[in-house]
A and B are shown apart, each in its own frame.
Chain A
């Protein structure tokens, strides 16, 4: 459609602006302007005034901008969804070749100059990287909206705590077991639901996450209820990181003859977590190049075509769902051991929303984007504590704006094309 270069209609913009202001007045007026105080209330109309003003000015500016030729171009780019994956020429060499080793070196050097606070923040960031990568497989690659991801995270965390409490299993045995447990839960949940229309999965997983939290909260005899349970710290080949080892064992620092450092536990957790993140990154990198990874993306783009080609859509989706769940289980184990205890308050719907925000911001299916987004969304709130109240609001706005502006994320997924070999008859 050719872009008509008509003159700017200020009257239309003014009408738009007044309409938006009127709606904003009705919407914001009662909730923002009349604050309930018990059965009484007090008026705060100045806040309403500012909000309405901002909406009106914003709408006016937007309306004017969309009438310019540049705005028309922007508007047209919204009309058509951008294509799935960009294809690069076969001999394209990504700049990531240089950036990735530098990042790895930075990560290795990091513990030597970090204090305990920084270390814990980065551990938390890495846990969310793991969660983001897991959900990215489910949402980004396979196109299944999982809103109860926190349920699998909780299974991993409580798996460690309960395995320690009731079975005497430590960090290392529960790390794979929790992953298997979470994957199994994913299979039980996913198998019946994945046969149906995709949207149902969202609400079923939402319910599932809530069920897990409610059970953890109410089953006092087993899970300790709202008080939670303690979780064991990791060990290094049976050596503990505490000042005094339990049951007459030797703690790590005595065995190696170094002085005791309370940071050692976090350093070790960081090291293991970092290796696990690297491993998951590698596995994901390989998977997207294997038939199953291609099948995920193909199913996301067009399910009917895939089924016509003979793909078993339930099994393909289930593999993505279980793989994501097991990653969340692993992240849960790390979370439990990092915190030292677990309680249901850590596994609310807000966590699921946060992980979803990471995937949305990072770009559906983009690995590097998810890693960056996980750090931005978890580390930034630590640094900007004064904005803590507005965090959820910002996440919500972020999700809506990203979906309107760039539904496939900030970083576009690119794939290197395959060149036909020379000398082969076409």
Chain B
């Protein structure tokens, strides 16, 4: 194996773990109310801004040690983005629970336009950035070349794994997770059994947004720059990851994210960087044609 392949593998795993985190938001919402939350990509974008704001404000108060800054940024971003998720669901989706099938989708597109434009108007259209937080890297010699793994990338992979473990714990072991799973399986039955399904749906949006926020902080740490349009492309890619893994399935979203990230990184390393987005979107179309239920998903059953 040569150095470029390994290097792209590392890049792909980093990117893929973040795609997986965002894909969780899509897959959970789809699982519970059966709609594609188009605004989720924008939630990620908002969280990138929130992360930069938190870092700037903490820097202003003289907090510069990496663990403190990252802890503060993560807590702030996840909480505020969670509130965003809650508010979005309340405004744009909850009144449409019994509406036509197209209505929530169009409302979601509207919400996504609102968020983009709102951030653009309040923060300006220019690109924003954060300073490098974690410097240095590991160098591994492979053959005649070498592979560079920055500490940021290691941190991202570790944080993504931690986030996914925390989520798995919430879903599998807690009362809230049990309510989520019950609502996902049969909303009406869950309601009969005394679960406040409206509240559970709100929680799902908050959890999805929080995972998106974690992804937003991590991607911002890695690339350092973002703008108000950043959520669009990443949103479609994370959705691709969710479909690849089987929409509605949590492990599927994580697996799909990793596969998509690695495939994309290898494509840009070996073929062409300009067409890496085209590659991902084509992948989405191909998956939908040949395996619409994804890798870990169940085949779709149409209910009357």
Contact = CB atoms under 8 A, between A and B. Distances in A.
Interface of A: 23, 26-27, 30-32, 34-36, 38-41, 47, 78-81, 139, 143, 145, 147, 189, 192-193, 196-200, 202-204, 206-208, 210-211, 214-215, 218, 304, 349, 353, 356, 360, 364, 389-390, 392-393, 395-400, 402-404, 407-408
B232 A207 contact: no
A403 B96 contact: yes
A399 B281 contact: no
Interface in B276-293: 277-278, 281-282, 284-285, 288-289, 292
A199 B35 contact: yes
Given A27-B84, A203-B36, A34 B53 contact: yes
Nearest to B304: A304
B201 to A, nearest CB: 17
Given A304-B304, A400-B114, A145 B105 contact: yes
Among A34, A196, A403, chain B packs the most CB atoms within 10 A around the CB of: A403
A18 to B, nearest CB: 15
B110 A392 contact: no
State the majority secondary structure of interface residues on A.
helix
21 contacts: A27-B83, A27-B84, A31-B53, A31-B118, A35-B124, A36-B56, A47-B122, A197-B300, A199-B35, A200-B292, A208-B281, A208-B285, A210-B233, A211-B278, A214-B274, A396-B115, A400-B107, A400-B114, A403-B96, A403-B103, A404-B107
Interface residues of B, number: 75
B288 A192 contact: yes
Interface stretch (B85-93, B152-160, B174-182, B190-198): B85-93
A78 B95 contact: yes
B74 to A, nearest CB: 14
Contact of B100 (A81, A353, A389, A397): A81
Among A199, A389, A397, chain B packs the most CB atoms within 10 A around the CB of: A199
A203 B111 contact: no
Nearest to A198: B101
A143 B102 CA distance: 7
Contacts of A203: 36, 236, 239, 243, 284
Given A30-B54, A304-B302, A404-B96, 12 more contacts: A30-B49, A30-B53, A30-B76, A31-B53, A32-B122, A35-B122, A36-B49, A47-B122, A349-B232, A353-B109, A396-B117, A398-B110
Contacts of A211: 277-278, 281-282
A239 B251 CA distance: 65
Contacts of B302: 304
A394 to B, nearest CB: 9
B128 A200 contact: no
Contacts of A39: 56, 59, 129-131
Nearest to A394: B117
B283 to A, nearest CB: 9
A41 B79 CA distance: 21
A58 to B, nearest CB: 12
Interface of B: 34-36, 38, 46, 49-50, 52-54, 56-57, 59-60, 76, 79-80, 83-84, 86-87, 91-92, 95-96, 98-107, 109-124, 128-131, 232-233, 236, 239-240, 243, 274-275, 277-278, 281-282, 284-285, 288-289, 292, 300, 302, 304
A23 B83 contact: yes
A28 to B, nearest CB: 8
A314 B107 CA distance: 26
B52 to A, nearest CB: 6
Contacts of A403: 92, 96, 99, 103-104, 106-107, 110
Contacts of B36: 199, 202-203
Given A23-B87, A31-B53, A36-B56, A218 B274 contact: yes
Contacts of B110: 395-400, 403
B112 A396 contact: yes
Contacts of B281: 207-208, 210-211
B104 to A, nearest CB: 7
A80 B87 contact: no
Contacts of A193: 285, 288-289
A35 B60 CA distance: 14
B113 A399 contact: yes
Contacts of A402: 106
B92 A36 contact: no
A7 B240 CA distance: 51
Contact of B289 (A192, A198, A206, A397): A192
Contacts of A139: 102
A30 B36 CA distance: 27
